[in-house]
Amino acid sequence: MRDIHFTAGILPNRVLFHVEGPDAGHFLHNLVTADIEGLTPGQAAYTALLTPQGKILHDFFVLNTGERYLIDCAASQRAELVKRLGFYKLRAKVTVSPSEDEVAVAMERPSSPLAFADPRCAALGWRFAVPAGSLPDNLDYEAARIEIGLGDSGADIGSGELFPHEANLDQLGGVSFKKGCYVGQEVVSRMEHRGTARSRILPVALDGEGPAKGAEIRSGEKLVGTLLSASGGAALALIRLDRLADATAPLLTDGVTVHVLKPRWASYDVPGSEGVA
């Protein structure tokens, strides 16, 4: 993996909102996959809200600001996420309110009081809230996160499509296997204990310009995976590990050769991988 670098700037596809009130921490803790009650002021978690069947509806960051919780989520998913939180709120003393600030990223720690180190991977630096219009849009963060092997909420993970293990939340600190019940926990715990995650989002290298997202990756006639985000010759793909292990022919997507890589942060085996991302 080359040295990762990106300039400080706004992520226009991310937005913020607040969750506050006497029950806010307990409310979030009982809904999502990460340990929210264990967060100290200034600390953040990467987490997800699941369907009862254990699939990711929304993945996002939660920052304990000391006074309330700041949520950093995909702009395309905010309305539905807020709606879901309202559905589960019932009698809890919790208020959900929008934020006019924007989400920014930087390699070095910024001066903003609403800043946190990316809890998934230290190479992705810091995320922080800034007043709208105070920084230009970031132009190179997407290439960095693709090269590292991290899926994006909208571009790669989607809503209602993947289990947490398939999106690597178990590897990235997004799931606590020690906390009590949350929505979808039984399925996630079963996949962890049985080791039944057959598919994973993985970084891949392409020998040429890749086709559009959704293109099939095949070994001969066997479907091995699906192409996701791409940036130049680097891309992400949802790969069936069992089929990758059995592949005997080169992996191709629309005639372009695909080389599957193992993320440096991954503790699981990637059979047939051709290097480390």
- Mean pLDDT across 243-255: 96
| Integer Cα distance of 114 and 122 in angstroms | 17
Domains of the chain by start residue, with CATH: 9-157 (3.30.70.1400), 198-260 (2.40.30)
Residue 45 has pLDDT above 80, yes or no: yes
Q: Is 247 left (phi over 0), alpha (psi -120 to 50) or beta?
A: beta
Residue 146 has pLDDT above 70, yes or no: yes
pLDDT of residue 19: 98
pLDDT in tens, 161-198: 999 999 999 999 999 999 889 999 999 999 999 988 99
Q: Which amino acid is at 105?
A: V
Q: Is the pLDDT of residue 260 over 60?
A: yes
Question: Model-level pTM?
Answer: 0.96
Average model confidence (pLDDT) for the chain?
Answer: 95
Beta strands in the chain (DSSP E): 9-10, 14-20, 44-50, 56-64, 69-74, 95-98, 102-106, 115-117, 126-130, 199-206, 216-219, 222-231, 234-240, 251-253, 256-260
